[in-house]
Chains A and B, each alone.
Chain A
Amino acid sequence: MFKSLRLSVKLILSFGILLLILGVALSLFKYSSNDTNRKFKDLLRADVAIVSRAQDIELAEANCRNSEKEFFLTLDKKYCASFDRSIANLKAEAGHIIELAREAEYADVGVKASKIAGLADN
């Protein structure tokens, strides 16, 4: 079948087919790698970030409680400021979670974060 072909045609065909398949394989591998990286980045940017922000909210909430109790024990105004900073942090983290939930299209998480922000405002 190949005897009638010229040497250059044979070489071009053989290396072309090889390069085509290798190119497809490399492209697929590259696409897979990029897609995996992108999804993991999304994961880190959305889910993992939301988990981290939620933990930060819990931390801010604990700080609020601690500041409240310290204030009523000592009636020192610095604990009011600490309480306000913790509330501000909590609201900021809730705002981040709302934004992340909107990007990741997690409506329930956004609602919960909005609720937390509303509780912090009250």
Chain B
Amino acid sequence: MEYRGLDRNSGLHGKLRDSARQLDAVIARIRNSEPKILLLQLTGHEKDYLLRGDESFAKQADGVLARMTGKVKVIAETDRGQYLSHIEEYRRNLEELVSQERKIKTLVENIRDNTGKIEPAAREIETRARESADVNSKAVLDTAKSRTDTATILGFLALGLGVLIGVIIIPSITRPVTQVIGALTSGAEQVASASYQVAESSRQMAEGASEQASSLEETSASLEEMSSMTKQNADNAKRASAMANDAKGSAEKGRDAMLRMTDAISRIKDSSDKTAKIIKTIDEIAFQTNLLALNASVEAARAGDAGKGFAVVAEEVRSLAQRSAEAAHVTANLIEDSRKNADNGVAVSAEVAAILKEIADGVVTMTMLIGEVSAASNEQALGIEQVNTTVSQMDKVTQSNAANAEESASASEELTAQAKELTEVVKVLNGITVGGEGSSANGNGLMNRLAYLSGYGAPHDKEKSLVPPIDEDDGAKPVSVERRLGASRGGRVVRPEEVIPLDDHELKDF
């Protein structure tokens, strides 16, 4: 198309116009207008052809070119060559243009024809692909639905089979496990109860043993004190015996002195009696003197004034007689009292002598008794020493028993803890089997505890465990109480009743 020319100045179109211009330039130099008219006719046919695409105008243009060639005589001789060559060039360009236009037309028709064929072919492809897509998608969906149905049926079959297995298998699993759990629970409770009782008894026994040891210590101390006091008593008895002998001698001396004092008092009594007789005599003399003084007074009165002096003397004598009588009377009373006192002193002396005799006899008896007491105290001291030795041995035995009882209490507490642990494990196992508390939350704890109880592992926190390892020499592996007791009793499992006396007759022997 570019070769043909996209505008009037390019391609064949441009060349055609150039040829026409060159012809016009040649023709313009002549005065004959006929070639000019032919040239105008030629360009007019050319334009008709270019505008309408009708090849008849090209044939008319070719006829005009022939006529212009026939008019070569009107052209100057010098321009004729150019004139003819331009005509020939125009003809070639026109023919080439026509040829190109024909090709373009054919090409365009071909393109239009082809594009007209492409569209239905594309439509056919689209329709065919749509139909195929519908068929294939329906087939895929049908297949998927079929397989999904099969999978669903298999799923329901698995569900039904699971239910069937649950109905058939689960009871056959849970029933014996439940029975075992029941037996374990009962056993654990019994073990817990027995171990609690053993622990309680051991604790009470330990407390009793401790109290007994304390009492024995006190008893031992008291016995030692008693021993020393008994020795002191024996010494005191010896000293008392000596002092009793001395007292016996003193009592005898006292009795002799008392006899002598009795004799002295008797003599004093005799002297008092004699003195009383003298005083009586003096009293009688005073009475007679008083009578004489009274007579003298009477006589003096009779004598009158001459007897006044005598009367005064008589009065004085009478007064002295009265005073002598009073003094004799008082002295008699005193002597009477002295006599009575002497009598009383004699009686008291006799009584004191009798008492001193009794004292002397008692001292003798006491001396004998003190001697016996001293001998008994010596024997008692020896016995107390033996008892003290025995009590010391009992104290040692009791302390040993207290230590053993504490160990037994500790072992019983461990047994109790293990029984509680076993109960908890049974609860967890029960929860896992029949559901309920501890079925899932303590799963790890259950495994640890089961591993621990089976002896194949230790709990997470050994120190926090309710059941600490007993046998430290056996490494980290825990040793049960039964195993421990069995090991300590030559491999035989010993029951608690065999270790700790629980009955009265056993306690008596113990």
Instruction: Pick the most buried of A61, A72, A90: most chain B CB atoms within 10 A of its CB.
Output: A61
Q: A25-B151, A75-B7, A119-B117 are in contact. Are A61 and B126 (CB under 8 A)?
A: no
Indicate if the CB atoms of A35 and B143 lie closer than 8 Å: yes
Indicate whether B33 reaches chain A with its CB closer than 8 angstroms.
Answer: no
B-chain residues with CB within 8 Å of residue A26 when the two chains form the complex: 151
Nearest A-chain residue to B136, judged by Cβ: A43
Among the listed B1, B6, B111, B125, which residue makes an inter-chain contact with A109, where contact means beta carbons less than 8 Å apart?
B125
In angstroms, Cα B112 to Cα A50, docked, is: 24
B53 to chain A, nearest CB (A): 11
Distance of A31 Cα from B7 Cα, bound (Å): 69
Q: Report B300 CB to chain A, min CB distance, Å.
A: 164
Indicate with 1 or 0, residue by residue over B137-166, a CB within 8 angstroms of chain A CB atoms. Answer: 101110110011011001101100110010
Compute the total of residue contacts between A and B using a CB distance below 8 Å.
149
Residues in A whose Cβ lies below 8 Å from that of B118: 57, 61, 90, 116, 119-120
Task: Classify chain A's interface size.
Answer: 35 or more
Q: B119, A32: Cβ atoms under 8 Å?
A: no
Question: How many angstroms from the CA of A72 to the CA of B168 in the assembled complex?
Answer: 90
In the bound complex, residues from chain A placing their C-beta under 8 Å from that of B150 are 28, 32
The answer on a CB contact under 8 Å between A122 and B110 is: yes
Secondary structure type dominating chain B contacts: helix
Q: Count residues of chain B with CB under 8 A from any CB of chain A.
A: 46
B129 located at the interface, meaning its Cβ lies under 8 Å from any Cβ of chain A in the complex: yes
Are A25 and B154 closer than 8 Å at their CB atoms? Answer: yes
**Residue-wise interface mask of B (61-73) relative to A, using a CB-CB cutoff of 8 A (1 in contact, 0 not):** 0000000000000
Please, could you name 23 A-B residue pairs with CB atoms under 8 Å apart, sorted by A?
A2-B168, A2-B169, A2-B172, A10-B173, A21-B154, A21-B158, A28-B150, A31-B147, A32-B151, A36-B147, A47-B130, A48-B133, A50-B126, A55-B126, A57-B118, A64-B111, A64-B115, A65-B115, A68-B115, A75-B1, A109-B125, A115-B121, A116-B125
Binding site for B on A (CB under 8 A): 2-3, 7, 10-11, 14, 17-18, 21-22, 24-26, 28-29, 31-33, 35-36, 39-40, 42-43, 46-48, 50-51, 53-55, 57-58, 61-62, 64-65, 68, 72, 75, 77, 80, 90, 97, 104, 106, 108-109, 112-113, 115-116, 119-120, 122
